[in-house]
Amino acid sequence: MISSIAGLKRVFPLLIAGLLFFQGIPLSAQKSDRGLRRITPELMERHIGFLASDEMKGRKTPSPELDRAAQYLADEMASLGIAPVGGIRFQEVPLHTKNLDQEGCLFSITREGKTNSFRLKTDYTPFDLTADTLVQGSLVFAGYGITAPEYGYDDYRDIDVRGKIVLVMKHEPGEKDALSRFDGLKETRHSLAATKMENARNHGAAGILLVTDPLNHMLLTPQGYPWPGLSKFLPSDNLPIELNQNCDLIPFVQVGESVLKALFGSVDSLRNIQRRIDTLLTPHSFEFPGTEIRLRTALSVNHFTAKNVVGMIEGRKRRLKDEVVVIGAHYDHVGSLTQFKEGEDNIFNGADDNASGTAGVLAVAGALATGKKPARSILFILFAGEELGLYGSRHYCENPLVPLEQSVVMLNMDMISRNGNDTLQLSGLKYNPDLAAILLEEAEKTELRNYPEGEDHFQQSDHFNFFRKGVSSINITTGLHTDYHKVSDDPASVDPAKAAKVAALVYRVARRIAGNDIRLKTVNP
């Protein structure tokens, strides 16, 4: 953990050297900066108080309260003189809920003329990232289902899975090995179920079976989550929600011990194969001879929309005004409990997460709207659906209102009002060296001097979707705390003065980049 500017300078010597290439705002201009003076604790408190009030019921996507919050944000931007983008203040985000049609699901294995049919939940459970379709084909074991050229590893290297069903294990090679090529004891993105599904689909697989790897894990039984009909712990209305653009899905289920025994004869047989893969760090993929899978995951789907809230300050210089500095935050949270005891608090107010970041965007917008316009344009986006999987920002990046190649930088604020007077986490410094240099220099002019590492969370907020598209992006946060995603994250728990400090830093950075012809490089993770 790096706990000071000095520590960061030791880790990023090239970044600090790069500071010499950037021109800062003169001290005299800072002292008379009317924009900075508009960012006050009182302003932050007002916005957070409204967005995180009990009346907003946790701003769940979707909900009437989230729509009410969107209108509040649009009205606030209009009152600040922030213009619509292309004539609109809302970008609709098309989403849908889906529920499992249990009667329509089936899964069977046919070998040597004998068919075994398996039971839903007991033997297999569909993931939420599954398709509403029937597939049939031969079966291929593809190890961990990983293609990772950066680690010199590919389970699909010597097999053809086009039109076939693949069986893959959870996690990744050397999961418990501190010296593993796969980043030691830390799981990489290749261990994610969604990454395995996407990789199987990209290799042409028709469906995917995922099994818990037995070498390091004992519980092989599929779980009922995320389907309310398969879990007594989930409310009936707690249905998976997806972006409509998630259309390239394939049937995707978790299978249990009974399926392993039908295929391998015993769990130990798969355990031995896994041990061989882990020991040699060499794939051991193969097709099951004479084996055919029949798999259907059936769904019922209901469509709806949420709203990203957008606004823009147009730049003053003809040569630069088509380029934008993007400032964003998500304004949704996780809603409220439907099952609770009388007198208990059931509302997840989301004051820090992320009424604080939302308030920060409004405060920065008001500050930047004061006085002389910047050379570049500034685009403000408040995202819906972040808590569901960064959906609002993902939809924007697939359907940008301003071409992403014209987006110079994305500054994201997510949870900016907790954890002491001077603490700040900056997720993405090492991937954005030029932006990091500017941010660190501007931070030295503030009271925000304590920087714990935040790189482990780089993929966990809306900036990451921009980064994936090649836009220099960073997440500015004050970090996690014990009230995270709890009913205790309410307005009384936040520090409006801390939120104002963070917003002021974002204002400084945005104004500096928007006011100069600065080009920012990124580094692939």
Instruction: Cite the DSSP H helix spans in 399-495.
Output: 433-443, 463-468
How far is residue 216's CA from residue 211's CA, in Å, rounded to a whole number? Answer: 12
How confident is the model at residue 151, as a pLDDT? Answer: 93
pLDDT digits over 303-346, tens only? 999 999 999 999 999 999 999 999 999 999 999 988 788 888 99
Pick the CATH number of 5-96+303-329+344-514 from 3.40.630.10, 3.40.50.300, 3.40.605.10, 3.40.50.2020: 3.40.630.10
> Which secondary structure element, helix H or strand E, spans residue 35, and what is its range?
helix 34-38
How confident is the model at residue 29, as a pLDDT? Answer: 43
| The residue to which tokens 């920087």 are assigned | 451
Q: Crossing angle for the helix pair 496-514 and 41-51, nearest 10 degrees? A: 110
| Over residues 392-405, mean pLDDT | 97
Count Cβ atoms below 10 Å from residue 320 Cβ, excluding itself.
18
How confident is the model at residue 247, as a pLDDT? Answer: 64
Domain layout of the chain by residue ranges = 5-96+303-329+344-514, 102-297
HSE-up (13 A, CA, CB side) for residue 36: 16
- Residue 411 predicted with pLDDT over 60: yes
| Over residues 342-370, mean pLDDT | 96
How confident is the model at residue 28, as a pLDDT? Answer: 38
Mean pLDDT score across all residues of the chain: 90
Q: Please say whether the structural domain 102-297 has been given the CATH code 3.40.50.720.
A: no
Q: Which of 226, 202, 186 is nearest to 142 (CA)?
A: 202
Burial 435-455 (b: 16+ CB within 10 A, else e): bbbbbbbbbeeeebebbebbe
Q: Work out the pLDDT band at 1, boundaries 50, 70, 90.
A: very low
Per the model's pLDDT, the better-predicted residue between 27 and 260 turns out to be 260
Per the model's pLDDT, the better-predicted residue between 449 and 59 turns out to be 59
Would you say the CATH fold of 102-297 matches that of 5-96+303-329+344-514? no
How confident is the model at residue 103, as a pLDDT? Answer: 95
Q: Which of 134-143, 229-238, 325-334, 357-366 has the lowest mean pLDDT?
A: 229-238
pLDDT digits over 74-127, tens only? 999 999 999 999 999 999 999 999 999 999 999 999 998 999 999 999 999 999
pLDDT digits over 480-502, tens only? 999 999 999 999 999 999 999 99
Output DSSP code: residue 317.
-
| Over residues 417-427, mean pLDDT | 89
- Residue 20 predicted with pLDDT over 90: no
Count Cβ atoms below 10 Å from residue 311 Cβ, excluding itself.
27
Q: Which of 58-72, 255-269, 444-458 has the lowest mean pLDDT?
A: 444-458
| Over residues 145-171, mean pLDDT | 97
How confident is the model at residue 10, as a pLDDT? Answer: 36
Any residues with CB less than 8 A from the CB of 334 and at least 6 apart, and which?
A: 58, 60, 348, 350, 387, 485
Q: Which of 50-54, 167-171, 186-190, 264-268 has the lowest mean pLDDT?
A: 186-190
How confident is the model at residue 263, as a pLDDT? Answer: 97
Per the model's pLDDT, the better-predicted residue between 450 and 155 turns out to be 155
- Residue 452 predicted with pLDDT over 50: yes
How confident is the model at residue 341, as a pLDDT? Answer: 84
